[in-house]
Amino acid sequence: MFTKVLVAEDYEIANQGIVKVLNDEVDIHNIHEAKYCDDAYLKFRKAHKDGELFELLITDLSFKEDHKVQIRTSGIELIQDIRKIQPDIKVIVYSQESRPDKINMLFQKLNINGYVCKGQHAVKELVNCVQGVYKGDTVLPAEVTDATKDNIINLDDFDIMLLEELAQGFTKKEIVQKLKKQKISPNSESTIDKRVSKLFDDFKAKNTTHLVAIVKDLGLL
């Protein structure tokens, strides 16, 4: 079982709950807590520098604002910065976010190892998630496994590239010209038009501005 765990959670009751579950149900006792992403990152960096690595990060996604200026304000940023230094650290997200698309994005884009939705069955699910991740499994929550495939949007690298270009204000014609100049395929106007139209349909966006706002809210950009 994991021997050293870092928990990033800004609500004290939830924080204590996670620690109690890890202590009593999973027999993990070397647990370090942080209420803010920056604090969690500093604890991670010190442990990494001292050669006393954390094996598992359990983090929320959203954190309340504080009077101190925070460099990292979300669990996504914390995961990204920690993974830059220690790519093999296991990551479990523990959050109220229950939208299948956003949860699925975390697995696809951040390669997290497990996800637990806060709620009535969170304690049991957290225990199962920690045990599963330790065994090397990828533990999906019921919010994703119970969703039909039609309800989950799967984006490839080309879709992400198109979304990034649209977010920067480029039109479809400008994107086509840019792709042709960089010799990136596919780059025909009809293909780009179809892919962008599909993104509009998938995210039920009314226009480009709406589309960009939706994907940013989902953490895709």
Q: pLDDT tens digits for 63-85?
A: 877 666 678 878 999 999 999 99
Please tell me the predicted confidence (pLDDT) of residue 146.
Answer: 67
Which residue in 139, 138, 191, 141 sits closest to 161, CA to CA? 191
Angle (deg, nearest 10), helices 189-203 and 172-181: 130
Please count the other Cβ atoms lying within 10 Å of the Cβ belonging to residue 153.
Answer: 18
| Overall average pLDDT of the 124-136 stretch | 95
CATH C-level class of 5-149 = alpha beta
| Every domain range in the chain assigned CATH 1.10.10.10 | 155-217
**What tokens does 105 get?**
């994005």
Find the range with the poorest average confidence among 31-40, 143-152, 196-205: 143-152
Confidence of residue 159 (pLDDT cuts 50, 70, 90): confident
What values do phi and psi take at 36, rounded to 5? -135, 155
Which helix (H) or strand (E) is 73 found in, with range? none
What is the C-alpha to C-alpha distance for residues 21 and 123, in angstroms, rounded to an integer?
7
Please tell me the predicted confidence (pLDDT) of residue 204.
Answer: 86
| Every domain range in the chain assigned CATH 3.40.50.2300 | 5-149
Please tell me the predicted confidence (pLDDT) of residue 122.
Answer: 86
Give domain 155-217's CATH number out of 1.20.1440.130, 1.10.3470.10, 3.40.50.280, 1.10.10.10. 1.10.10.10
Please tell me the predicted confidence (pLDDT) of residue 152.
Answer: 61
Q: What angle do CA 128, 111, 26 make, to 5 degrees?
A: 20
